[in-house]
Structure 1
Amino acid sequence: MLYLVPTPLGNLKDITLRSLEILQQADLILCEDTRTSSKLLNHYNIHQPLSAYHQHNEHKILQHIVTQLQAGKTIALITDAGTPGISDPAFLLVRECVRNSIKVECLPGATAFVPALVNSGLPINRFVFEGFIPVKKGRQTLLKQLAEEARTMVFYESPMRLVKTLEDFMEYFGSTRACSVSRELTKMFEETQRGSLHDVCQYFKQKEVKGEIVIVVQGKDD
């Protein structure tokens, strides 16, 4: 059986008791970076075998993992932070498990875009999650499409591309469109900046940006 186990975004206390139980019982824990995951696992005195599973090797080791599952092993998949499959590896493995009638269970838990969205002050009854938008190919086409999107939009972005993305949003969505930018969620320097795209962009231009970023943008008015 394969378990998808969410892990804390930053604060190690943000993990469920059930998640800890599954990790303690798993025959193998797949993780993006064994060094990063070891910090969490050691904190909770979990010492199950670890194996790297990330976007650079998932195709290569996919069948090997499926073979282990078919042999009766219980495997838990975690990522560096949040829920596996949300802008992180998981899809290929889950799809292959489904094709081979291997049971898959995803535990509820931390996902960065949920607290950022709820905390944004923007409408959340209808929203669309876009994750990381393309850096080059397909970026302009996607932004043109999203300029007509009426639902609240949620994006992930890296610190070094935050200002450039906000500038692109201003170009395609208009500088007065309301937005919210959250970073370092659950951590010591957690911050949420709200306002127009122009004002929020100006704010982040004047400071060094660190940490994981979630951008929430208001949809187009009817």
Structure 2
Amino acid sequence: MGRGKKRSVQDVPIFLDDKFFRELQDIVQRVRWDYKTNREQFWMRDQALVCLFILSGLRVSEAIRIKKRQTRDYHDHILLAYLVTMKRGLTRKVVLPKKGRFAWFTGVFENWLRLVPSEDSYIFPSGSQFGFNWEKPLSRKRVFWIIKTTTGLFPHWFRGVCETIYGRLIFQSDAWKLKEFMGLKRLDSTSPYVRGSWEEDLQRIYEV
């Protein structure tokens, strides 16, 4: 993957296979900022945030505002509710599955969530050499700096990855469902992520 300019998901060839999901795991594990103290916990926080971007497609400014009380942990998924988007106050609900190829990413998020001390705590708190300040969220600028420096990618790239996975594998190129899931205002915003390939129907040539 290249470095430098802000990336769009269309810039990167995405094959939605097992290898691609392993590559995503490798990217998550590269999120290891050179903290001077409490490294393991800071890395857990940062990697959980990147996993949430992949699982939900949330914008940075949306993700850092989430508090623990907006989550419910069930046996096969974690539910995030009342997520306020930056698009005129639309709200979203997101399911983080504990099965399938998303399970590894949900596990990283879940392990961090267990360390969040109270319902009123921000899930992604700011921190210092003295530990976390659970009453104050990470800043948007700090998130951009950590992720861009450690992975070479902008946080918005992960939003595009999420839209592609949901658009093609889960919603089967249903643009309306993708729009509702992502909390988008315009249907045409989904167009880069729901385009199919003629090769998907290649088997039908043998049925003519």
| TM-score interval (norm. to shorter) | under 0.3
What TM-score does the superposition give when structure 1 sets the normalisation length?
0.23
Larger-gyration structure (1/2): 1
Structure (1/2) with the larger helix percentage: 2
